[in-house]
Structure 1
Amino acid sequence: MDKNTIIGLLLITAIIVAFTIYNRPSKEQIAEQKRLRDSIALVEAQQAEIATELGSKQASTSLSDDSVLGQGSSLSDFFRAGTPYNEAINDSTSEVTILANEPVNEEIVVLENDKIRLLLNTKGGKIQSVQLKEYLHYKGDSLYLFENDQESRFNLELFNRNSLRISTENEYFTPIKSTDGKTVIMRLQNSSEQYIDLVYTLPEDEYMLDFDIRISGMRNGLHPESLANFKLNWEQKVRQQEKGRAFENRYSRIHYKYDKQDDSKLSESKNDQKELPDPIKWFAFKDQYFSAIVIADKPFNNTILTSQLLNDSEYIKNYKAEVWAPVEISTESDLISAGFKYYFGPVHYNTLKSYDDGVSNNSDKLELEEIVSLGYKWLSWVNKWFVIPVFNYFLTLNWGMGLIILILTIMVKIIISPLTYKSYISSAKMRVLRPQIQEIEKKYPGQEQDMMMKRQQATMELYSKAGVSPMSGCLPMLIQMPVLLALFFFFPSAIELRQQSFLWADDLSTFDSLISWSGNIPIITRFLGNHISIFCLLMTITNVIYTKYNMASMDTGQQTMPGMKNMPLFMSVFMFFFLNSYPSGLNYYYFLSTLITIVITLIMKKVIDEEKILAQLEENKKKPRKKSGFMARLQEAQKLQEKQAREQAKQNAKRNYRK
């Protein structure tokens, strides 16, 4: 150890000693601390004496060692901050006596209608279980969003003016049920004037219930922070409800909507957390087909949302929400309150949208239907205004789901048939010119740049004279793409397909298995999962056949880049790996769509006379024809490219000559 190090250590030691001496309490401070400890000890002794006199009855007012009120504190200590000092001294024993007869064991209270069944637990006064009566788990059991304390959590945190904190999840409430059975009040009571109510009201034939927090007798006793906002915590483990875990996980996420603004969401593919200082109107704990949504009467001031992926075999994700809810203080009574609504139900577009019926101001609409995954905003209008209304109409006819999808597919094909016809005619025009294209290929053979440019220029000249546009076949395909993509998003989100069977498929909302296996097979399991879907396999086989036929019939004779010729075939096979885990209803639609396309193609081939098309093109060559803007620009670009190529060739020749 060198000299500088020794000096440094000595200086540090001297500073610590000096700081300790300087901060040593004075005799007066030591005496005050002793007096405070003696006072605390006296209070604890008095509480112990009261507890001995009351015997076992005192247990109902004392919290466990795990209580947030702290060791030696009681529930009445929290409420006493809202009671005048003299009254609190005189009535403290009577208050304990009032609560002595209240139960401390957990009690379950049932609140239900024809759609949902809720179990309320007196411990914490919370919703312990939610059952959706109209739906079943994929294994055939009753469907629960959550069922016990390990799967859900609700907690209200309050501070009194002495900064003593109470956490409702640790307290035992007294249930008060209305005569009509639609309302249950969970009451945490200190006296007839001082209590905390959690009020649940479930209307008939509804998925949505009202939830209110009401605090009485604490207007002057709560901490200013609790008088402004209630701090609440919600937590839920999301059960695996569907057979396809990976696919269900892809559609499970937390959604939320900013007040009077658009909705947003957390990532579904990774752990995610967002702190939202801006007011939000609601947040949703969503899985693929069901959701728990919390809607505030007044937008939450601050919100922290957390989504965590789980590897548990029974659960897919863990959701958490920590919110600060603005309170309302009554001017007529000593009541502090905050109101909410719970939605426990299906992710069904029309059901969710119905909660905005009668709301004229768009900024006031809840827009809960936005949690339904219908595609990108520029695309979802196709599903909202066409697919869903037509689909719902067919459902009213009580047809089988297989027939409904067939009719829907035929309707889509009829709607886009003019575009299909135009695309076919464009391809037919290019196909009848194939012999002339082949002549151009022979005239300008080889892959040299100069030859390729001359060949391309001659081909464009031929198309221009004949009145054929190579792009005319692509445009109809692009126009019909929004409809095809919209259906790709619609089928995985349509809860109507859930547990609906057709042919060998037991559930059109998930994959149908021809072959399934357990364990991990390298590469195969990664891309296919542990199954092979029958409808997906049929769709792929049909698509490959159609692609090969189409490639042969649509061959215009033009040379293509190496590998590009077989690209359509490769994409057809790739779709099998991509869609194997998708709903069998979607693959059934694609299978039908490809079959109908083949039929339409064969009909067009029989009906359309290609000799007449060729004759018309030959007539077009004889007429003076003004070039289209696109063709003119294309030919101009080709000439410029050819000129640059010649100059480049000259420069290369000069360099080679110099060498």
Structure 2
Amino acid sequence: MKFDRTTILGFVIMGLLLFGYLYYNSKNEAARKKQIEQETAQKAHADSLARLNPKDDSTRNVIDSTLKNNREIAIHGLDTGAEKITEVKTDLFTIAFTNKGGQPKWIELNKFKNKDSGLVRLAASPYDRISYPIKLGTQTTETGELKFRAPEVTHDGDNTIITFNLLHDSISQSLVTHQFVVRKNDYMIDFNVHVNDADKMLTQGKMNLSWQYEAAQQESGISFEKTNTQIGYVENGEFDYHTIGRRDTVTLDGPVKWIGVRQRFFNSFLIAKDNFSSAAMGWSIPPDGQHIIVQAKSNLQIAVPASGNVALNLFYGPADYHILKKYDLKMSKIINLGQGMYAFVSPLNRYVILPVWDFIKGIVSNYGIVIALLTLFIRLLISPLTYKSYLSGAKMKALRPEIAKLKEKHGGDQQAMSMDQMKLFREAGVNPLGGCIPALFQIPIFFALYSFFSSSVDLRGADFLWAKDLSAFDDVIKFGVNVPLLGSHLSVFTITAVLTSLLISLYSMSMTPDQSNPVLKYMPYIFPVFLLFIFNGLPSALTWYYTVSNIITLVLQYVIQNYIIDHDKILAKIEENRKKPKTKSKWQERVEQMQEQQKKMKEIQQKGKR
């Protein structure tokens, strides 16, 4: 075969067409699989709801007739026996159900330990309750106070189905049914409710659901845990949140998809498949001594259809971005990757930090090393700016003798000194602020990592060197008493961050031409002191990152200044720049005009004094 241009072009076109076909086909196949999965899930959900419905209308008529003819059946014919607990174990958690209210009693997460080294338990206090009022005869009572019959436990593949029935002695069919579907590898639990004759048992055919949730302390630092605890919800399709210490109520008038509590590393959500019509939540923060982060009570209203079926979901699990993201309910937005005044760093976390973090942790198991490698990646990313910064510093150092001459020439006349110094910088082609750019660029990176490390459940319980938990401060040095502004401990990673910051400041000071300014003279000592008080209560992950970043900075400074930057070439370049014709920007012209005016005014004032 002769491979002329036409033949080669034909092969290229065929290859592109084949690639396009395969790509299009793969997308269609993926879409088809997703559709099948959705249809399967919907069918399973519909089947679970179907189990709740009475098999025929005759049973419904019996219930209706009984309620009409015997208005005093009320509570007397209901179960009044002892509370019965039923446990269901999965790979992710163990959940206990109680027949009192037909609801969860507690949830124990298998992969997470609390501050006392026991497994984390959620919704485990007497305060926790899911309830709604129903009419029994002439009385109205809360389902949370009623005893359902012992549950029926069945299995559907890997799913465990727990069904509670509220039965009356005079009626064979359940008045109310609560059905929970627990999956093997899923923190989301289906909660299906069926109310017979909902229009009679519920006020105006609406369920006024009450959800009480108490978030118990799980972390060693209760103050930091409270600071990072939020109330979140989706109203009218939009996510919003409130930090618990800043307000104590929220009223939602629009359709509400879900409402929940995030206590730094763990979430609890109540979700309605067809939305709550309205919701209101109030919360209180008990004193630290009670070891409770927040007590929240939600009142939610949901319309109940003629079928009497209400489809809800409960989520009790870790505040893991990837786990929450897969549900496509905007629950992942409650993970603090940048909120409030730091919302501008959220894209940096979601599209840069998080993907790189996931990639590195897939290769390295030690999270201390993962942080170090992430730091190295970030520093490589901004290395061009870093090089320009050090180059600017080298130029400033080369001009130091000439600046010294200007100081000698002008003495105490700071204004004249400033004007001539700016002129010198312009002639030499030096930007005195060039060294500030990398520092400014690292500010959003620091805020991004502050948010990321404070909310990353990966770091919870991860030890490294002397730190037992990278998500908390290391308290190797304990004082035994509370020191103002510092606390009862001194973090070793904070010390390393402060010392390396001090070394960087001293080095930068040696590169500064003018050291007569008292602020510049003492700044290397003042700034690390501030860091000591600020960093001491922050997660070890953040202070370790800062330490590694500082070490990289010191190494780069030494290598670039001693082996990469040629100081003789810099001097030659400065002399070359001086010979070039200079054009002033409008901003430079305005600054010089202002300085000239100030100089003239000063001269006039001095003459007036004479």
TM-score bracket, shorter-length normalisation? 0.7 to 0.9
Determine whether 1:110 maps to 2:87.
yes
Matching residue within 159, 172, 177 for 2:152: 177
Offset from partner CA, 1:194-246 (integer Å, 9 cap, x none): 5112221111211011112210134345431xx1x311222222211111222
- Judge conservation of contact 2:90–2:185 (CA < 8 Å) in 1: yes
Matching residue within 617, 639, 655 for 2:593: 639
Q: Go from structure 1 to structure 2 and tell me whether the alpha carbon gap of 1:428 and 1:651 turns closer, same or farther (over 3 Å shift).
A: closer
- The equivalent of 1:126 in structure 2 is 103
Determine whether 1:422 maps to 2:388.
yes
Equivalent AA in structure 1 for residue 568 of structure 2: E
Equivalent AA in structure 2 for residue 256 of structure 1: Y
Give the C-alpha shift of residue 98 in structure 1: 11
- The equivalent of 2:25 in structure 1 is none
Determine whether 1:479 maps to 2:479.
no
Give the C-alpha shift of residue 648 in structure 1: 6.7
Matching residue within 180, 183, 187 for 2:165: 187
Alignment of 1:340-489 (within 5 A): 340-356=312-328, 366-375=329-338, 376-446=342-412, 451-489=413-451
Determine whether 1:276 maps to 2:226.
no
Equivalent AA in structure 1 for residue 494 of structure 2: C
Determine whether 1:603 maps to 2:581.
no
- Judge conservation of contact 2:324–2:332 (CA < 8 Å) in 1: yes
Matching residue within 546, 550, 563 for 2:508: 550
- Judge conservation of contact 1:155–1:232 (CA < 8 Å) in 2: yes
Alignment of 1:227-266 (within 5 A): 227=205, 229-261=206-238, 263-266=239-242
- The equivalent of 2:542 in structure 1 is 586
Q: Go from structure 1 to structure 2 and tell me whether the alpha carbon gap of 1:456 and 1:593 turns closer, same or farther (over 3 Å shift).
A: same
Give the C-alpha shift of residue 652 in structure 1: 8.2
Give the C-alpha shift of residue 370 in structure 1: 1.1
Give the C-alpha shift of residue 465 in structure 1: 1.1
- The equivalent of 1:541 in structure 2 is 499
Equivalent AA in structure 1 for residue 554 of structure 2: I
Q: Go from structure 1 to structure 2 and tell me whether the alpha carbon gap of 1:98 and 1:153 turns closer, same or farther (over 3 Å shift).
A: closer
Matching residue within 306, 318, 325 for 2:282: 306
- Judge conservation of contact 1:536–1:587 (CA < 8 Å) in 2: yes
Equivalent AA in structure 1 for residue 600 of structure 2: R
Mean CA deviation greater in 645-654 or 206-215: 645-654
Task: Look up the SS of the partner of 1:211 in the other structure.
Answer: strand
- Judge conservation of contact 1:115–1:206 (CA < 8 Å) in 2: yes
CA distance in 1, matches of 2:109, 2:465: 27
Give the C-alpha shift of residue 302 in structure 1: 2.4
CA distance in 1, matches of 2:496, 2:202: 67
Give the C-alpha shift of residue 168 in structure 1: 1.2
Equivalent AA in structure 2 for residue 106 of structure 1: E
Q: Go from structure 1 to structure 2 and tell me whether the alpha carbon gap of 1:635 and 1:297 turns closer, same or farther (over 3 Å shift).
A: same
Give the C-alpha shift of residue 192 in structure 1: 3.3
Give the C-alpha shift of residue 130 in structure 1: 0.9
- Judge conservation of contact 2:210–2:300 (CA < 8 Å) in 1: no
- Judge conservation of contact 1:542–1:595 (CA < 8 Å) in 2: yes
CA distance in 2, matches of 1:161, 1:303: 28
Offset from partner CA, 1:441-481 (integer Å, 9 cap, x none): 111111xxxx3222111111111111112233323433343
Equivalent AA in structure 1 for residue 579 of structure 2: K
- Judge conservation of contact 2:419–2:595 (CA < 8 Å) in 1: no
Task: Look up the SS of the partner of 2:388 in the other structure.
Answer: helix
Give the C-alpha shift of residue 345 in structure 1: 0.6
CA distance in 2, matches of 1:386, 1:514: 33
CA distance in 2, matches of 1:533, 1:204: 41
CA distance in 1, matches of 2:466, 2:441: 35
Matching residue within 155, 174, 182 for 1:202: 182
- Judge conservation of contact 1:122–1:172 (CA < 8 Å) in 2: yes
Determine whether 1:572 maps to 2:528.
yes
Offset from partner CA, 1:580-614 (integer Å, 9 cap, x none): 12111221111111111101100011121222101
Task: Look up the SS of the partner of 2:556 in the other structure.
Answer: helix
Give the C-alpha shift of residue 559 in structure 1: 4.5
- Judge conservation of contact 1:300–1:323 (CA < 8 Å) in 2: no
**Runs of at least 5 residues in structure 1 that lack an aligned partner in the other structure:** 1-78, 357-365
Q: Go from structure 1 to structure 2 and tell me whether the alpha carbon gap of 1:638 and 1:355 turns closer, same or farther (over 3 Å shift).
A: same
Give the C-alpha shift of residue 417 in structure 1: 0.9
Q: Go from structure 1 to structure 2 and tell me whether the alpha carbon gap of 1:623 and 1:387 turns closer, same or farther (over 3 Å shift).
A: same
Give the C-alpha shift of residue 574 in structure 1: 1.0
- Judge conservation of contact 1:209–1:342 (CA < 8 Å) in 2: yes
Give the C-alpha shift of residue 640 in structure 1: 2.5
Task: Look up the SS of the partner of 2:243 in the other structure.
Answer: coil
Determine whether 1:83 maps to 2:64.
yes
Identity of aligned residues (%): 28
CA distance in 1, matches of 2:605, 2:398: 41
Task: Look up the SS of the partner of 2:490 in the other structure.
Answer: strand
- Judge conservation of contact 1:298–1:325 (CA < 8 Å) in 2: no
- Judge conservation of contact 2:375–2:545 (CA < 8 Å) in 1: yes
Task: Look up the SS of the partner of 1:174 in the other structure.
Answer: coil
- Judge conservation of contact 1:200–1:210 (CA < 8 Å) in 2: yes
Task: Look up the SS of the partner of 1:567 in the other structure.
Answer: helix
CA distance in 2, matches of 1:555, 1:504: 37
Mean CA deviation greater in 314-323 or 374-383: 314-323
- Judge conservation of contact 1:266–1:307 (CA < 8 Å) in 2: no
CA distance in 2, matches of 1:312, 1:622: 70
CA distance in 2, matches of 1:160, 1:455: 90
Q: Go from structure 1 to structure 2 and tell me whether the alpha carbon gap of 1:652 and 1:321 turns closer, same or farther (over 3 Å shift).
A: farther
- The equivalent of 1:26 in structure 2 is none
Equivalent AA in structure 2 for residue 338 of structure 1: V
Mean CA deviation greater in 273-282 or 498-507: 273-282
- Judge conservation of contact 2:466–2:476 (CA < 8 Å) in 1: no
Equivalent AA in structure 1 for residue 324 of structure 2: L
Alignment of 1:15-164 (within 5 A): 83-84=64-65, 88-89=68-69, 99=77, 102=79, 104-150=81-127, 152-158=128-134, 164=139
**Larger Rg belongs to:** 1
- The equivalent of 1:286 in structure 2 is 262
Give the C-alpha shift of residue 138 in structure 1: 2.6
Equivalent AA in structure 2 for residue 223 of structure 1: T
- Judge conservation of contact 1:193–1:217 (CA < 8 Å) in 2: no
Q: Go from structure 1 to structure 2 and tell me whether the alpha carbon gap of 1:80 and 1:157 turns closer, same or farther (over 3 Å shift).
A: farther
- Judge conservation of contact 2:216–2:292 (CA < 8 Å) in 1: yes
CA distance in 1, matches of 2:152, 2:607: 98
Determine whether 1:512 maps to 2:474.
yes
RMSD: 2.7
Q: Which runs of 4+ in 1 moved over 6 A?
A: 79-82, 95-98
Q: Go from structure 1 to structure 2 and tell me whether the alpha carbon gap of 1:373 and 1:92 turns closer, same or farther (over 3 Å shift).
A: closer
- Judge conservation of contact 2:123–2:215 (CA < 8 Å) in 1: yes
Equivalent AA in structure 2 for residue 625 of structure 1: K
- Judge conservation of contact 1:463–1:469 (CA < 8 Å) in 2: yes
Equivalent AA in structure 1 for residue 203 of structure 2: H
- The equivalent of 2:571 in structure 1 is 614
Q: Go from structure 1 to structure 2 and tell me whether the alpha carbon gap of 1:98 and 1:453 turns closer, same or farther (over 3 Å shift).
A: closer
- The equivalent of 1:217 in structure 2 is 197
**Runs of at least 5 residues in structure 2 that lack an aligned partner in the other structure:** 1-59
CA distance in 1, matches of 2:543, 2:201: 63
- The equivalent of 1:336 in structure 2 is 308
Task: Look up the SS of the partner of 1:527 in the other structure.
Answer: coil
